[in-house]
Amino acid sequence: MIETTQEELAIDCFLLAGRLLIQSGAETYRAEDTMLRMASSQGLTDAQSFVTPTGIIFSAGHKRPTRIAQISSRTTDLEKIAFINSVSRKLTAGAITLEEAYEELIRIEHTNLFFPIWVQVLASAIASGCFLIMFNGIWNDVPYAIVIGGVGYLIFLAMHFLTKVKFFAEFTGSLFVGLLSVLVYQAGLGYQLDKIIIGSVMPLVPGLPIANAVRDLMAGHFVSGVAKGMEALLTAFAIGAGIALVLSF
């Protein structure tokens, strides 16, 4: 069994790992599992954790204080999840000490692992163009889908950065996708309005909440599963509302 100051550090370390996992968009059961594995590798065998998308409750066992970590924002950052996963693997295997793990987690928290903005915009532009053809579009419309998809995603990122209101970024993104598509169509450049809109709006689709909601529900985490399912549904509604607003004129 570890001593008191060590114990504080250990609990801090587990909470940080759990919080970073949820913030990067990991499944709830992965966060719980990771924290408990790390805890039992440090001799805290009767630890308990309760994870929801907005907060973590972690108890190290009898007579030890229960701690809470608040989670205010969530993004999609698969690389961070993979990094924390490997830190937890190394700690459980005994390859690194608790202090090293904690330092590494703090370093992970403060590094920005995302691709540069222009790479992300380029990626969504390419994805939009590809989806247009995959959904039986015609080659003539591809350049427009590429441009509109890129611009739509750029606006989405900008709004995400500017406002903290949830779903508003998706709404504005899809609104601009709709507007630009209609403009291109009215100007006689694009032929299939429907396909251009569908292709360009694809980068906004909430892929991670959908996949996570399912895995959480299957693992029996109904609170998180339903919450994430709702998040996915509301995001989809926000996208749909943006497009609907344009089409209704």
Is residue 130 a contact residue for another protein (CB under 8 A)? Answer: yes
Query: Which amino acid, one-letter code, is at 201?
Result: V
Name residues contacting another protein, limited to 84-123 (CB under 8 A): 85-86, 89, 113-115, 119-120, 123
Spatial contact of 78 and 21, defined as CB atoms under 8 Å apart: no
Contact stretch for another protein (CB under 8 A) within 3-11, 39-47, 98-106, 201-209: 201-209
Which among 11-19, 48-56, 103-111, 237-245 is the span making contact with another protein, rule CB under 8 A?
Answer: 237-245
Helix (H, G, I), strand (E, B) or coil at 57: strand
Buried b / exposed e over 85-107, threshold 16 CB at 10 Å, is: eebbeebbeeeeebeebbebbee
Of 133, 179, 182, 234, the residue at the interface with another protein (CB under 8 A) is: 133
**Which residue, 37 or 215, has its beta carbon nearer to another protein?**
215
Among residues 56 and 127, whose Cβ is nearest to another protein?
127
Site string for another protein, 165-184 (x = CB under 8 A): --------------------
Burial class (CB in 10 A: 0-12, 13-18, 19+), 67: middle
Evaluate whether 201 touches 239 at the Cβ level (below 8 Å).
yes
DSSP conformational letter for 136: T
Strand partners, 160: none
Q: Which residues sit at the interface with another protein, rule CB under 8 A?
A: 26-27, 30, 76-82, 85-86, 89, 113-115, 119-120, 123-124, 126-127, 130-131, 133-135, 153, 194, 197-198, 201-203, 205, 207-208, 210-212, 214-215, 218, 236, 240, 243-244, 247-248
